[in-house]
Structure 1
């Protein structure tokens, strides 16, 4: 997979890749007259792929990060990935996005032609002093035209609609560095809407959101489910996972459970999941 657009920001001596939308191999580029944003009120058909991890292993040096990870994400569902910090959740996402070498098999089974993969990172690290507005950021993420030339007419309407959906329409001219953490997270959610993805990968999108932002995210999650989009969602808020996910996989270097929220989020299974040394798979 190759990134459609990449924003590289300097933060001290560390270069941070802060984006974002990837397309599956062999997919033709979007045409200018394509509609970048799709909203569905009720699910008419499944558009997202089945996602299958089969004995995926990842070792860095002498440290085992992922140990024979196997599970499936069903098409058109919201599938949550939970576990302790350092348990391999983000590393598994990076293998999916082609950013880390691994052993084992990872496959996407699309219902038709290969679609678009959207990625919303946990946070955006960049120089807060950069004179980059919300519109500049959205232009850099969502169009091929250089951001300094302004918004393309083909994407201006969709970008405006996406920002309105996340409650950021009135802050389009604000500098990204002047936004709160929750507001920046809403902008990241907005860029994940353009172009409309069929597979959406979310890395703890609720971590910086306030109560209003959480309501926005939950509404978006309902829209994605209704549109038949496949969602793989890393989340630490187990209460939200219990309410919003269709299925939950517990990962602490290896899969400890894969079940419905009611079956997965029991005290015994959570104790095993968040133990430093998992006792056994459930």
Structure 2
């Protein structure tokens, strides 16, 4: 998809404005005056070392962590739906929970043991079809491979249909077939004008698939196109820098 074609897509997702967002837990500075903007309908990658504050920034966006500074969502019309795909799923693998049970628990209000409601059944079927898990709906979650569980997590992020999608290292457990599914979904989201904020450690994938990249190590070290951002010098600085707390 060319840049010109991208401009023709009407964005349904919001603009995200991070304006001097800071976060301190105890005496530890987690985020230090983080400022950047995510354009509506774009695939915006967030890269950086472990412990650099990426997941903490996502938690502030989702309203899970108090912070200083401002974080604004500018919707094109009325506020829309926010979807979230976590990095991994921790649960008791001995639980007799099928894929359908999990999707019911995540996507509908009525108790999962009552089964899928008619209202959500079609949407859940479509979402599982999109991630290639339609034929494993009756499998226990604990019997799935890590990559298959990650595909189910991707599917739950599609219900209800999101306008803003937040992804926390969704490729971490995927096999080659799963990666192809994810890349196809990314293109679908771009074509639909959905805003995507994507934490990712696979820099080769970021270089191919993202519209813009922000390098975060407590503070923003760069914010640019993938070609401008993913240079050896910038990456060396990003992964070797240990920002100090401001002088007291």
TM-score (norm 2): 0.94
Give 1:44 deviation, angstroms: 4.2
Secondary structure of residue in 2 paired with 1:59: strand
Q: Name 2:131's counterpart in structure 1.
A: 166
Write out the 4+ residue segments of structure 1 that deviate beyond 4 Å after TM superposition: none
Q: 1:227 aligns with which of 192, 195, 202?
A: 192
Structure 1 residues 44 and 248, CA, compared in 2 at 3 Å: closer, same or farther? Answer: closer
1:91 lines up with 2:81 in the alignment: no
Q: 2: CA distance between counterparts of 1:110 and 1:243?
A: 27
Q: 1:140 aligns with which of 90, 95, 105?
A: 105
- 1:246-270 deviations in whole A, cap 9, x for unaligned? 0000000000000000000000000
Give 1:50 deviation, angstroms: 0.2
Q: Name 2:27's counterpart in structure 1.
A: 62
- 1:21-47 deviations in whole A, cap 9, x for unaligned? xxxxxxxxxxxxxxxxxxxxx964110
Contact 1:84 1:273 in 2 (8 A): yes
TM-score (norm 1): 0.83
Q: 1: CA distance between counterparts of 2:130 and 2:61?
A: 28
Q: Name 1:82's counterpart in structure 2.
A: 47
The answer to which structure has the higher helix fraction is 2
Q: Figure out how many residues of one structure are paired with residues of the other and give that number.
A: 238
Contact 1:43 1:226 in 2 (8 A): no
Instruction: Give the unaligned 5+ runs of structure 2.
Output: 1-6
1:205-216 pair list within 5 angstroms? 205-216=170-181
Q: Name 1:204's counterpart in structure 2.
A: 169
Give RMSD over aligned pairs. Answer: 1.2
Secondary structure of residue in 2 paired with 1:268: helix
Give 1:154 deviation, angstroms: 1.2
